[in-house]
Amino acid sequence: MRVVIAGGHGKIALLLERLLAERGDQAVGLIRNPAHVTDVREAGAEAVICDLETASADDVAVLLAGADAVVFAAGAGAGSGAPRKDSVDRAGSALMAEAAEQAGVRRFVQVSSMGAGQPPRPGTDEVWAAYITAKTAAEADLRARDLDWTILRPGGLTDAPATGRIRLAPPPVPAGTVPRADVAAVIAALLDNPGTGHQTLELVGGDNPVATAVQSIS
């Protein structure tokens, strides 16, 4: 399987690239910073330069030729302000989804966030509100497209080692945390289970082995 990952140098993306390479799949990491090429290659993926805030859907569609799936794992990141929540977390996902439609790549896994899907609470910090608004809009954009999408909303991300055990279900799932390594394993399993298409799933740490949890909602 050839999988193109937007945000290819992100923490989840690098873990996913390793998992895909280990099982013989071809991962392609889209990155904006040429200094990240070595890390992406070391993770076993092909590195392709593509800035999601300047590329056109036509540009990205060319990069998706021959792909079997797209994973949106980019994000403006913790230090960014409200405008980049919109230009990366919302518009970057919409760009990838538009390009996937153009290129005929139907399978699309979007990394969203728990908290998306509801308006930000009144009085919420402005940047957090912009983040949740952007993720909610990115989800709505994806649901409206003719793609085999799965929206994955992890809880708070940690850098702890993989546990292999999760709680994965349609919302609402009680708030919690989850290691990025387990998120990567869930994405790899979702790619193997197209029956998870057209579902929005929330993810936190739990008791169920990843493969069992993913198969049970397929």
Ligand X SMILES: NC(=O)c1ccc[n+]([C@@H]2O[C@H](COP(=O)([O-])OP(=O)(O)OC[C@H]3O[C@@H](n4cnc5c(N)ncnc54)[C@H](OP(=O)(O)O)[C@@H]3O)[C@@H](O)[C@H]2O)c1
Nearer to ligand X, 98 or 195 (CB): 98
157 lines the binding site for ligand X (CB under 6 A): yes
Residue of the chain from 19, 43, 69, 75 that contacts ligand X (CB under 6 A): 75
- The window from 18-26, 57-65, 68-76, 208-216 that contacts ligand X (CB under 6 A) reads 68-76
85 lines the binding site for ligand X (CB under 6 A): no
- Within residues 45-64, the interface with ligand X by CB under 6 A covers 51-53
The torsion angle over the Cα atoms of residues 111, 117, 121 and 124, rounded to 10 degrees, is 20
117 lines the binding site for ligand X (CB under 6 A): no
Total interface residues for ligand X by CB under 6 A = 24
Q: Is the peptide bond before 122 cis (omega within 30 degrees of 0)?
A: no
Q: Least distance in Å: CB of 23 to ligand X?
A: 20
Q: Least distance in Å: CB of 171 to ligand X?
A: 13
Residue of the chain from 119, 156, 170, 194 that contacts ligand X (CB under 6 A): 156
Nearer to ligand X, 9 or 18 (CB): 9
For the chain, give the number of residues: 218
Structure token digits, residue 93: 């996902």
203 lines the binding site for ligand X (CB under 6 A): no
Q: In what order do the strands lie in the sheet with 199-205?
A: 46-49, 26-31, 2-6, 69-72, 107-111, 148-154, 199-205, 165-169, 208-209
Site string (168-197) toward ligand X, x via CB under 6 A: ------------x-----------------
42 lines the binding site for ligand X (CB under 6 A): no
**In terms of C-beta density within 10 A (0-12 exposed, 13-18 middle, 19 or more buried), how is residue 176 classed?**
middle
CB 1 within 8 A of CB 69: yes
CB 21 within 8 A of CB 27: yes
Please name which of 35, 65, 60 lies closest in space to residue 47, comparing C-alpha atoms. Answer: 35
Q: How distant, in Å, are the alpha carbons of 49, 82, 191, 215 from that of 185? A: 25, 30, 10, 13
The residues binding ligand X (CB under 6 A) are 7, 9-13, 32-33, 51-53, 73-77, 88-89, 111, 113, 154, 156-157, 180
